[in-house]
């Protein structure tokens, strides 16, 4: 399978793959953080927005939302879901906006798609340029030192006459700034089972390294990966919600 095939050739399966994600809770959780730490504005951009489910919830809550993604098939679906929003095909590691923003989000660990420390730094710098003073950048991240290569997430969904099984897992070699996200789809019908496999290179950072990259641009707060509660991160946690206030 070609690189990023899940997000292009198989993009029609993306929403099914994410069917177990609680988009309302995630969107509401970030809006609460924005109310607490933000500047009160409602101009919002979602990086790596995919098919736009988070944007739908922000628009319904009164935000003026837009989306950015590197894959046009995903944006085509996002436009159908959120015709009020403006979507553009851009790389989140080097983007520009026409008007400064109050809130920039990046859900589903998509910040790691930066694929390398320099690209991650480029993403952080782009976000900083795009935000108004006091603007908020909120995303979730995984600490490379806490990744267990043996763990994976799997769920199944029915679509038409097919049973689709989705599996995803992180893999980190134990050194350096590269990790990968491994994804697979099994489609079972009365004619048999077809399998697709995809692997994405991603940036690997510890939370300490991440805070070091953010510190020149933002006041940084790191919380437990719980969108229903606002709890400071425990030292042993490997997943976190990061809230960044522009200096």
- Give the other-Cβ count within 10 Å of 121's Cβ: 17
Residue-by-residue DSSP string for 195-212: EEEEEEEEE---HHHHHH
Question: Do both 54 and 108 map to the same domain?
Answer: yes
Per-residue pLDDT band at 12 (split at 50, 70, 90): confident
What tens digit of pLDDT does each residue of 95-153 get? 999 999 999 999 999 999 998 999 999 999 999 999 999 999 999 999 999 999 999 99
Q: How confident is the model at residue 17 (pLDDT cuts 50, 70, 90)?
A: confident
In a domain, 14, yes or no: no
Q: Same domain for 71 and 116?
A: yes
**What share of the chain has pLDDT > 90, as a percent?**
88
The whole-model pTM stands at 0.94
Tell me which residue range forms the domain holding 190: 146-202
Shared domain check, 221 and 169: no
Q: Distance between CA 41 and CA 69 in Å, rounded?
A: 23
Band of pLDDT at residue 19, cut at 50, 70 and 90: confident
| CATH number of the domain residue 169 falls in | 2.20.130
Give mean pLDDT, residues 166-180.
97
H/E element holding 122?
helix 117-130
Q: Please check the confidence at residue 88 and state whether its pLDDT lies above 50.
A: yes
Q: Is 238 left (phi over 0), alpha (psi -120 to 50) or beta?
A: alpha
The enclosing domain of 43 has a CATH number of: 3.40.50.150
The answer to whether residue 7 sits within a structural domain is no
Both 29 and 129 in one domain: the answer is yes
Phi, psi of 57 (to 5 degrees): -70, -35
Task: Tell me how many domains the chain contains.
Answer: 2
User: How far is the C-alpha of 117 from the C-alpha of 186, rounded, in Å?
Assistant: 33
| Mean of per-residue pLDDT scores for the chain | 94
């Amino acid at each position: 399978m070609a690189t990023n095939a899940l997000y292009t050739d198989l993009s029609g399966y993306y929403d099914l793959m994410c069917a177990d994600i609680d988009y309302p809770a995630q969107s509401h959780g970030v809006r609460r953080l924005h109310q607490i730490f933000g500047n009160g504005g409602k101009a919002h951009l979602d990086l790596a927005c995919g098919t736009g489910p988070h944007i739908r919830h922000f628009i319904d809550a009164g935000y003026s939302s837009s989306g950015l993604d590197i894959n046009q098939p995903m944006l085509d679906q996002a436009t159908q879901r959120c015709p009020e929003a403006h979507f553009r095909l851009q790389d989140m590691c080097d983007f520009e906006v026409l008007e400064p923003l109050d809130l920039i989000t990046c859900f589903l660990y998509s910040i790691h798609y930066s694929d390398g420390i320099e690209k991650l730094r480029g993403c952080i710098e782009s976000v900083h340029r795009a935000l108004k003073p006091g603007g908020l950048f909120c995303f979730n991240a995984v600490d490379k030192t806490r990744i267990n290569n043996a763990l994976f997430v799997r769920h199944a969904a029915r679509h038409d006459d097919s049973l689709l099984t989705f599996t995803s897992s992180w893999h980190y070699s134990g050194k350096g700034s590269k990790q990968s996200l491994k994804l697979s789809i099994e489609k079972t019908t009365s004619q048999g089972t077809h399998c697709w496999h995809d692997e994405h290179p991603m940036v690997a950072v510890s939370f300490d390294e991440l805070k070091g990259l953010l510190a020149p641009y933002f006041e940084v707060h790191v919380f437990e990966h719980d969108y229903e509660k606002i709890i400071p991160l425990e030292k042993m946690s490997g997943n976190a919600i990061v809230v960044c206030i522009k200096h």
